[in-house]
Amino acid sequence: MGTKKTRESKQAKQKTPTFLLELPLQVEAGQAKRIRGHLEAGRAFYNAVLSEGQRRLRQMRADAAWQAARAIPRTHKQERQAAFSALRGQYGFSKYALHAYAKQARVSWIAEHLDAVLAQTLATRAYQALNRVCVGEARRVRFKSRGRGLSSIENKRNDTGLRFVLHKPEEGKQGFLVWKDDQLAALIDWNDPVVKYGLDHRIKYARLIQRKGSSPKAQGADVEGFCYFVQLALEGVPYHKPKHAVGTDILGADLGPSTIALVPQQADASLEVFAEELAPDEKQIRRLQRKMDRQRRAANPDNYDEKGRIRSACGKKKLHWKSSKTYENTRRRKATKERKLAAHRQSLHGQKVHEIVAVGSTVIIEKSSSKAWQKQYGRSVGLRAPGMFIKMLRRTVASTGGTLLEVPTRTTKLSQFCHGCGKTLKKPLAQRWHQCACGVGPVQRDLYAAFLAAYLDPADPIPSCAQYVIPWEGAEARLRRAHERVQQRANEGQSLPRSMGHARARARRPESRSEPTQEPAFLLRRGRLEAWKER
């Protein structure tokens, strides 16, 4: 054990950056059949390790010593850690213990399909899933069903087992994923700079990916409609397209659940619907969802009651669901649409990130809690994924040598602050304008918050009145222009969300705050309150 520990720490020290390159594979019918066999063996093996690990985890948690370890206060860090690791050792709940189990479980027919290293990576995967349950990050683990299967498998290194081999230039520069006796040809476009750059780097390991095509007849799909890809984990940093120049400005950003306001210190400000182009995609998906619901109802009339609700399972008898062939087709179409939506979203995020970086690579933004957003604006946040966008922005900005500064909302309160008088005043969500008695405004609130962010001092991100006096002189007109552009686009017929302070905005302009628009909501709330009291 001692030697293992040192080897592990040595490896950790040598950790190098990794990036991925994905290439499609050309797979013949016979090869596809063998791959499916290998993956099925992998699935069975993964489930076996997961089951064994789950058994160990349950036993460990049932031990009285587990509760005792949990009772140790978190301030006694070492004592707590020692107690837990003793328990893990006792019940064999660790990565290496599961590796050992994997070694003895890899027998007979499974051994013919899986190399020792692949078995080990699968065991690691199972351990990681279980460990998330153990430390409270997840509630349960999922076994891989036969229907869904195992859709990826990876190696740890590129010299044995599943590996990617690149022929030398004089041999034609072709690439193959080698697994057992099969050589799966990768489609390599050497004219693509991203591909060429990637293949010039050392391959750490290869991963085989199996994806469902849009239909069984999709290009490159096997008889069951699967397409295959190889993902290479390469040593180094990802390729930077030369067209992505990096600007020198400092930007303030305000990201709402569906809008993004950008205010650079020099360049033009902008206010946009965030990832606007996704809306039609989502509409199609929702239509398919409704279709699936109708088809499910038609195929299973006995599972619904007279009001059209799903019957609650009476007694121990579980509801049995039939799925028609047309239902399966719709489901496949919906899955394809969802995959496309995800790809579209990623490309829109990427575009926006590069747009930002082209202006400047120092970005200041208020740190928002994506979780809180999800609760309040579930659908919009699920569709646009602002959290993923921030992650991508952070990564890109860092790789260009800039910084993404996330300032805590609790201390800055940019959406409430007024630089004219220094007061913070909470605005109701419906009020999209900042207009203060001290003479600042009216200005669209998201743009104003982004402006405040742009001039924050990174060392001391607390807004003060003095720091904004001079910037405001130049910025006021820029912010107004940005909002005028929004208005113009709305006049040209583009629909904009209410939060832009435009469509139906008249009632929400500050000068008409006393209009009765807010009253019904207030009354309703009071009504509900009273009703609640009566109960």
Q: Specify whether the CB–CB gap between 250 and 454 falls below 8 A.
A: yes
**Which residue, 60, 45, 67, 260, is CA-closest to 153?**
45
Long-range Cβ pairs for the range 510-513 (8 Å, 24+): 510/431, 510/433, 510/435, 510/441, 510/442, 511/435, 513/431
What is the rounded distance in angstroms from the CA atom of residue 219 to the CA atom of residue 26? 10
Stretch touching Zn ion by CB under 5 A, among 383-391, 399-407, 431-439, 455-463: 431-439
**Residue placing its CB nearer to Zn ion in the complex, 133 or 436:** 436
Nearest distance in Å: CB 478, Zn ion: 20
- By CB under 5 A, tell whether 452 contacts Zn ion: no
Name the helix (H) or strand (E) containing 478: helix 469-491
**Which residue, 429, 158, 386, 143, is CA-closest to 256?**
386
- By CB under 5 A, tell whether 438 contacts Zn ion: yes
- By CB under 5 A, tell whether 269 contacts Zn ion: no
Nearest distance in Å: CB 438, Zn ion: 3
Nearest distance in Å: CB 435, Zn ion: 9
**Residue placing its CB nearer to Zn ion in the complex, 236 or 420:** 420
The bridge status of strand 433-434 relative to strand 443-444 is antiparallel
Nearest distance in Å: CB 386, Zn ion: 29
Q: Is 523 exposed, middle or buried (0-12, 13-18, 19+ CB in 10 A)?
A: exposed
Nearest distance in Å: CB 424, Zn ion: 10
**Residue placing its CB nearer to Zn ion in the complex, 421 or 490:** 421
**Residue placing its CB nearer to Zn ion in the complex, 100 or 425:** 425
Stretch touching Zn ion by CB under 5 A, among 76-84, 189-197, 343-351, 430-438: 430-438
Binders of Zn ion among 131-150, rule CB under 5 A?
Answer: none
If one counts every other C-beta atom within 10 angstroms of the C-beta of residue 457, the result is 11
**Residue placing its CB nearer to Zn ion in the complex, 231 or 431:** 431
What is the rounded distance in angstroms from the CA atom of residue 410 to the CA atom of residue 473? 27
* The two three-digit tokens of residue 173, written as one number: 């520069």
Contacts of 239 (CB under 8 A, 6+ apart): 193, 194, 197, 198
Q: Specify whether the CB–CB gap between 245 and 356 falls below 8 A.
A: no
Residue type, 358: A
**Residue placing its CB nearer to Zn ion in the complex, 169 or 439:** 439
**Residue placing its CB nearer to Zn ion in the complex, 89 or 422:** 422
Stretch touching Zn ion by CB under 5 A, among 271-279, 326-334, 344-352, 429-437: 429-437
Nearest distance in Å: CB 418, Zn ion: 3
Stretch touching Zn ion by CB under 5 A, among 16-24, 320-328, 336-344, 434-442: 434-442
**Residue placing its CB nearer to Zn ion in the complex, 100 or 438:** 438
- Classified as helix, coil or strand, 362 is strand
Nearest distance in Å: CB 368, Zn ion: 24
Nearest distance in Å: CB 454, Zn ion: 19
Nearest distance in Å: CB 443, Zn ion: 11
- By CB under 5 A, tell whether 418 contacts Zn ion: yes
- By CB under 5 A, tell whether 465 contacts Zn ion: no
For the window 372-411, what string marks contact with Zn ion as x by the rule CB under 5 A? ----------------------------------------
Q: Specify whether the CB–CB gap between 270 and 254 falls below 8 A.
A: no
Q: Specify whether the CB–CB gap between 50 and 141 falls below 8 A.
A: yes
**Residue placing its CB nearer to Zn ion in the complex, 220 or 471:** 471
- By CB under 5 A, tell whether 421 contacts Zn ion: yes
Distances (CA, A) of 418 to 10, 260, 393, 426, 508: 53, 20, 28, 11, 19
The bridge status of strand 270-273 relative to strand 175-179 is unpaired
Residue type, 149: G
Nearest distance in Å: CB 462, Zn ion: 17
* The two three-digit tokens of residue 515, written as one number: 């209009």
Size of the site for Zn ion (CB under 5 A): 5
Closest CB to Zn ion belongs to which residue? 436
Distances (CA, A) of 176 to 24, 228, 280, 408, 528: 11, 13, 39, 49, 67
Stretch touching Zn ion by CB under 5 A, among 70-78, 98-106, 437-445, 522-530: 437-445
Q: Specify whether the CB–CB gap between 268 and 482 falls below 8 A.
A: yes
Q: Specify whether the CB–CB gap between 282 and 290 falls below 8 A.
A: no
**Residue placing its CB nearer to Zn ion in the complex, 438 or 521:** 438
**Residue placing its CB nearer to Zn ion in the complex, 397 or 418:** 418
- Classified as helix, coil or strand, 166 is strand
The bridge status of strand 182-186 relative to strand 175-179 is antiparallel
Stretch touching Zn ion by CB under 5 A, among 68-76, 150-158, 271-279, 420-428: 420-428
Nearest distance in Å: CB 471, Zn ion: 16
Binders of Zn ion among 145-204, rule CB under 5 A?
Answer: none
Nearest distance in Å: CB 448, Zn ion: 11
Nearest distance in Å: CB 11, Zn ion: 57
**Residue placing its CB nearer to Zn ion in the complex, 165 or 436:** 436
Contacts of 287 (CB under 8 A, 6+ apart): none
- By CB under 5 A, tell whether 436 contacts Zn ion: yes
Nearest distance in Å: CB 439, Zn ion: 7
**Residue placing its CB nearer to Zn ion in the complex, 279 or 440:** 440
**Residue placing its CB nearer to Zn ion in the complex, 372 or 470:** 470
Which chain residues interact with Zn ion by CB under 5 A? 418, 420-421, 436, 438
